[in-house]
Every structure is written in structure tokens, then in C-alpha cells.
Chains A and B, each alone.
Chain A
Amino acid sequence: MESRLLRVNLTTGDCKVETVPHAMFERWIGGSGINNWIMWEHFLTHDVNCDPRGPDNIFVFGVGPLAATGSGSGIKGRITFKSPCYGIFGDSAAGGKFPYMVRFAGFDYIAITGRAPKPVYLHLCDGDVEIRDASHLWGKNSAEAHNTLVQELGDFPSLAHTLTIGQAGENQVGIASVVSDASRIHARGGGGCVLGSKNLKAIAVQGSGGVRVHNPRGLLNWSKDFRQKIDQNEAIYGFKRRGTLGAVEMYQHIGSHFWRNNQGNMFRGDEVRSDNWVKKFHKYSEVCSADCYIACDGRYKLDGTESEKAKKYVGESFRRPEYLTTASAAGALDLRDWAEVAHWGKVTNDYGIDNQDLSTSISFIMELEQHGLLSARQKAELFDRDNQSLEWGCMEDVEELMKDMVFQRNRFGEFFHNGPYYGALRYSEFRGENFMKYATYGKGGASFTEEMRPFPTWMNNMAVASRGADHLKGIGLIEKFQRRDLSMKYFGRLEAADLSTPVLKGACTAVVENQVALLNSYGVCLFHWMLDPGGYTPEDYYGRAFAEVTGIDRTPEELMRDGERICNLEKAFNSRLGLRREHDTICERWMFEPCPEGMYPGKVAADMFETVLDEYYEWRGWDQRSGLQTEARLKSLGMDDVAEVLAADGALVRA
């Protein structure tokens, strides 16, 4: 297994191609694992404490070895960088057609450094690379930029597929995102801000190549088995049409939504808490990538008859909102009409901004208004205009505040451009009064629009995830779905599936983080794994596909160690930046305010938080007091070189 890494220095204009050797896959699997290593190496020769918006930051795009091979397990491309909004490790995944076209264009990894003197875009075509003027694209939203490039570049040797940034990225808003083919978003961590700071508006790829596979017949057999397992899973039938919106009713039932800045955990309004999306709005089904056997994507086109608010958006067409888009709109902001939820998804994609941190920033300020903590004068100071309404569920108010943020129009935009935590800090400082109890956040100041308090593993994910509060690093499904079979499989005991005890919740976080790191490094979609066709075992079932593609034949135990190694590198990056145990934490609301409603009322995270965190460190082999990695554990993972760097930075425990 070998692949190609394109290095681009936008300051000098130098572009060079390197071979990614087989040994790199032996150690880092691919995808996010190799992205991480490229960034780690970069910051051995550049200041890790650099300004993430400066030319010394690096932006890496990578595709895992299973992507575009015909395995049918979906594709995720991954971007990796130092996060400008949280100041820590940053990465984000998205599906779609861009990732496989990168491979067909002759590359697997792209590492971008420096800063172009004027707006440019990168064009990759069948092994050739060109940095081109993008002055005509600057100022366009992500979809307009994509459409312009697709039209300009024609259809030879293929249609163009793109990564673009919208106005949020151009304006270096910390929570700006990168948009893939105008509709799939690398939302978290501020990758769009990094590209904006480099004056890089887009990457466009065209290609007619293919992908080498170690054992094509073996992969074909695996793929057939995978397809059969998916076709036999009746639950996937429903998932194909609903996608992650299938979670809406379940979350409503158990009380797992995030309503009005998590003052509640159930949606209000008959429209959004039911299955009406599928009945009224779903118009077309789509495949996300050509290499997916599920095809859960959908598209709407509004004719104005679907709901009361739909007539405002007649003709609007976009992807069906995913669950978290819905959670941020119908939950955090209390929008109660599916047409507005869908519109929120479209405009956040067009502007290129993360709807999690944006919605929780807006809902923070709406909650202050709700409690009478904003006078007319104070609102005028914040918004540079009189009489700004801050009404829950009002799309017009939401859109005004969104523009404030995207275009950096006033103090609200300036204060909150790194998300709710830093926004609340700056606003508290500005007012000389502490409002932090209304900010919802976890590690790094990142926010996430789901109810956490009844779910100890989920809560721990928010505190320890390397990229800041997030579910996709160690998604706590064993606990949330109370899977006793999986608790027995991985721990030989039942407690990981029992919501009432902290026992095995930290362990569960560590094990699932290792699994997810593997999946992200293979480059596949997490939903295939979540729907469990292969028995929920990325280290076993998917490991066989990895072997057929790369020739690297590992035992499940070895692959779990590979996943652990990848997690440890992300941790090491954050340790170099000064993160310790005290940074593995969550906000006051989740920690101390009782869960107000739903199936598990009265729960607070504080009851179990420290116990779970201690157990997590224990399973990781990290020092419980400082939260730092230990030399012994890193050496046992073959990471002596990483341990040396951490020791030099005073970020390693020698025990």
C-alpha cells in the first residue's frame, strides 16, 4: 500500500508530491490517523503555539484506504488542523463525492501551509496541480463558489468536485466550516477559518484514475457479504428515508433533545417532534457517495404547501436536514416548523458555519433576554442597532444574528465568533458580570446540542474528545441503547449498558474512541457501523476489508491498539498545547443543574463525572492527577518518539 501526499505552500507557491510509504499505513492505518501524523510532524518544525489563523498552521485533507474501493461502506474525507476557535486539535469529516474524486485525481492526502498573497483556489486534475486566481469567487457563498467552479471547469476528465468556504470562512469567523460539493459540511472546529486565513477559497478536483487494491477478489467477497448483511437489516429500510432524522422521535421519547439552550430536552410543536418530515418534505432520495450501500441522503424542494412557513421559501431545494441540524434549530433555537429547520440547514451550509456553536451562541443570548438580563441599551451596544428582538423560535431574529456572526457586523459577531464559551467569557468581561452559567460547552469551549445529563459515557465524551466537546470521537451507543450484549463482549460485565451506575462508563469511552479512530482512519461512514451489519466490531469485521485493501493483516487486538495509538497522538497534540485534567470538563448547566424533564429527570453530571473521568484515565493508562500521558503507556504503543517530544515539552509523566 502506497499513496500520494500533495504538499502546497501557499506563501511560496511550491507544490510537491511525496509518497506515503507502506510503513505509514502499518502505523497509522490511513485517513484521520495519517492526517494526524502529518500535522504532528509539521509542528515538530513549527511553533505548536502559533496563531491558528497564521501561515504556520497546517490544513490537511485525507481519505482512508477503504474509500472509493467499492467496499460499499461509505466514504468520509477528513480535514485536520489546529482549531482557530478552540485553540486545540481540530478535525472534521464529511461524506459526498469530493473524497473519492481526490483519489481519482491521483492523490490521497493534501497538506496546505503558508498564506497566499491574494485569494486563490487549488485545482487538482489527474496528477497535475495548479494554484489559480480566485478573486472572482471571493464574496460568494459556498454553493455559488462550487457552482461557478463546476461550470468553469467543464466535464473533462470528469465533473469537478469541490471543497469551498463561504463568507464565514473568508471573514475568518472561528467556527467557520468547509463545505464539500455545496452540500456536505466539515462543520466542526473552524476548518473554514483556517482556509480563509490562507486566502484559499476552494479546492477543485477532477480525475479519471482509479484506486489500487491489494486483493480485489477478497475485497469483492467482503463487499458482497457486507451488502447482504445490510439488505437483511430491516431497520435500514427506515433509515434509508429518514437518515439521522430517525433519531427525532426516539430522542423526544427519552428526553435527549437540547431545547432552548438545554433548559429543556424535548421539542415543542407538533410539526417538528413527529415524523412529518418524511410525510411532507422528503421529495427525492440521494446517495451521498457512489460507494455506499445504504444511501440515506434525501432532498427537499419546497412548493409552499408543506407547512405554514414553507411559503416563505418556495422553490428552495437542499439536502434533508440531519439530526444535529434539526437539534440546533428545533432544539436550541426552538424553531417549530420543518421548513425553517430545513432553511436553517441550507443557510448555515451556504455561509459555511457550524450550526452547533452558532445555535448555542444565539441561544445563550436569547436566554439572557428571557431572564431579563439585557436592557435596550445593552442590546444596542451588542448589536449596533435599536430594538433587536431576541425571541425564541423567531427565524427572522435568528437570521439577523447569523449575519452578525458571518459578516462580523457588531460586538455580538466579534464576541461569539469562537463559539458560546469564549463568547460568554468576553461578554461577561464586557459587562463586568458573570454570565457563564448560561453557556453550554464542554472541552475546548465547544458546544453540542444534545441532552447529556442522564448519559455518563456521553457526558464523558464531551469532556475528553480531542477536538472539543463532541460525540463522534467516542459515541456512547453501548450506554444510550443499553446494549448488554456489547457490554458483555467488551468488558465481560453488564454495567456499561446500565445508565444508573458510573461503572465502566470511562472504560466504554476509551474502547469506543479506539474503535471510532479506526473507522475514521479506514475512511468509512460511521452509520454503517452504527447500524451494526458487521456486529459492531470495526476491529474485526472491517479489519478484514482493511487487510484486503492494504495487505496489512492484523488481529482485532492489534487493530484496537492501532486505534489507541491514533487517539494518543491526538491527545499528545493537545498536551503540547498545555491541556491537562482541568480542561477535560463540561459546563455548569450540565454539571449541576438537574435534568428538567424526559425519561430521566433530576440527573446531574456531577453525580458521576469525576468517577467516570478517573476510570477513563485508568483505562487509557494516563496519569489521573494531571491527565497527562505516561511514558510507559506510550512506549507500550510504540510511540517512543512521541513520548520524547512530550517529555521535552514537560507534558509527560515518567511513571
Chain B
Amino acid sequence: MITVHAQYQSRFREITRVEKESFEIAEPTMVALAAAITGKYGPAMTALLMDEDSKSLNSRGTLYLNSKGTRMYLEDGLADGETVFFMVGIAGG
């Protein structure tokens, strides 16, 4: 088991109603973290986080960064203590 932290912004935070939280996951992967989050928050979070067509993390208007500022994908591994930031991906205006 490892502990990973999730930090949420905007639409993600509207669904979770918390700014950050920690998960204990058996596998050190984004797959396991995504499953834990969608399992906890249900269909709205699943629709926001997952792309059912490609079976990957939804990339439309969303952005997931690790603490080094690198985008996370479902196939990426996670280190114990890592923080993943869940954000909207919008620019300009």
C-alpha cells in the first residue's frame, strides 16, 4: 500500500467538496488512484475524469499534474507520498 494525495480545483472541487485528500492504494499507479476517486465520487466524477471511448483519463478541458509539473496519464506510476493535482485545462480569454 502507498499513500498518495489528490488536490482538486474548480469543477473537480465542486464534486468532491474538499480541496485535498489522501488515498491509500494497493497498486502504485494512476489507474488505482483514478479508480479510488471515481469509486468514491460516482458518475459525475467518472464523467469528468475518464474517457469511456478511449478508456484513458479524459483530456478534454482537464489537466492532471504531478508535483514536478508533468502531466499524468493512466499508465503512469506513482511514488509513495506523491501529490496529483486535478485541474481544468483552459487558457486565454
Contacts and interface: CB of A to CB of B under 8 A. Distances in A.
Interface of A: 232-239, 242-247, 249-250, 253-254, 275, 322-325, 471-472, 475, 477, 480-485, 497, 499, 526-527, 530-533, 599-600
Contacts of B68: 599
Nearest to A471: B92
A480 B10 CA distance: 18
Contacts of B47: 232, 234
A527 B91 CA distance: 9
Interface in B69-93: 69-71, 73, 85, 87-93
A477 B11 contact: no
A275 B85 CA distance: 16
B65 A254 contact: yes
Contacts of A249: 9-10, 87
Nearest to A256: B91
B92 A324 contact: yes
Interface string B38-74: 0000001001100000000011111101001111010
Interface residues of B, number: 28
Nearest to A243: B93
Given A233-B61, A532-B59, A254 B69 contact: yes
A235 B69 contact: no
Contact of B14 (A238, A322, A324, A484): A238
A482 B65 CA distance: 10
- The 9 lowest CB-CB distance pairs between A and B, nearest first, are A244-B93, A238-B11, A235-B61, A323-B93, A482-B71, A234-B48, A532-B60, A599-B69, A322-B93
B61 A239 contact: yes
A616 B47 CA distance: 37
A471 B62 CA distance: 19
Given A235-B48, A244-B92, A484-B73, A250 B87 contact: yes
Contacts of B61: 233, 235-236, 239, 530-532
Given A242-B10, A247-B93, A472-B92, 11 more contacts: A237-B11, A243-B93, A246-B90, A247-B92, A249-B9, A250-B89, A253-B65, A253-B85, A324-B92, A530-B91, A530-B92
B60 A533 contact: yes
30 contacts: A233-B60, A234-B48, A236-B61, A238-B14, A238-B88, A239-B11, A246-B11, A247-B91, A250-B87, A250-B89, A254-B69, A275-B10, A275-B13, A323-B93, A325-B93, A471-B91, A475-B91, A475-B92, A481-B63, A481-B71, A481-B89, A482-B63, A499-B69, A530-B61, A530-B90, A532-B60, A532-B61, A599-B68, A599-B69, A600-B69
Contact of B88 (A246, A322, A484, A499): A246
Contact of A235 (B62, B70, B92): B62
Contacts of B62: 235
Contact of B44 (A234, A247, A472, A483): A234
Nearest to B70: A482
Given A234-B44, A482-B71, A323 B14 contact: no
Contacts of A254: 65, 69
| Chain A binding surface, main DSSP class | helix
B88 A235 contact: yes
B61 to A, nearest CB: 3
Interface of B: 9-11, 13-14, 44, 47-48, 58-63, 65, 68-71, 73, 85, 87-93
Nearest to B7: A253
Contacts of B65: 253-254, 599
B5 to A, nearest CB: 14
A249 B14 CA distance: 14
Contact of B58 (A235, A472, A481, A527): A235
Nearest to B45: A234
- By CB atoms of chain A within 10 A, which of B11, B61, B71 has the most? B61
A244 B59 contact: no
A152 B68 CA distance: 59
Contacts of B93: 243-245, 247, 322-325
Contacts of B90: 239, 244, 246-247, 250, 323, 527, 530-531
Nearest to B49: A234
B75 to A, nearest CB: 11
Contacts of B89: 235, 250, 477, 481
Given A234-B11, A254-B69, A483 B92 contact: no
Contacts of A245: 93
A484 B92 contact: no
Nearest to A477: B91
Contacts of B59: 481, 483, 485, 532
Nearest to A232: B47
- By CB atoms of chain B within 10 A, which of A238, A322, A472, A499 has the most? A238
Contacts of A243: 93
Nearest to B88: A246
Nearest to A486: B59
A249 B89 CA distance: 10
A253 B87 contact: yes
Contact of A250 (B9, B48, B70, B71): B9
A238 B91 contact: no
A111 B61 CA distance: 37
A575 B69 CA distance: 39
Contacts of A475: 91-92
B43 to A, nearest CB: 9
A277 to B, nearest CB: 11
A233 B47 CA distance: 7
Contacts of A484: 71, 73
Contacts of B58: 234-235
A499 B89 CA distance: 16
B69 A250 contact: no
A471 B85 CA distance: 25
Nearest to B73: A484
B51 to A, nearest CB: 10
A234 B13 CA distance: 13
Contacts of A322: 93
A530 B85 CA distance: 20
A530 B62 CA distance: 11
A184 to B, nearest CB: 12
Given A232-B47, A532-B61, A253 B92 contact: no
B58 to A, nearest CB: 7
A58 to B, nearest CB: 27
Contacts of A485: 59
Contacts of A472: 92
Nearest to A482: B71
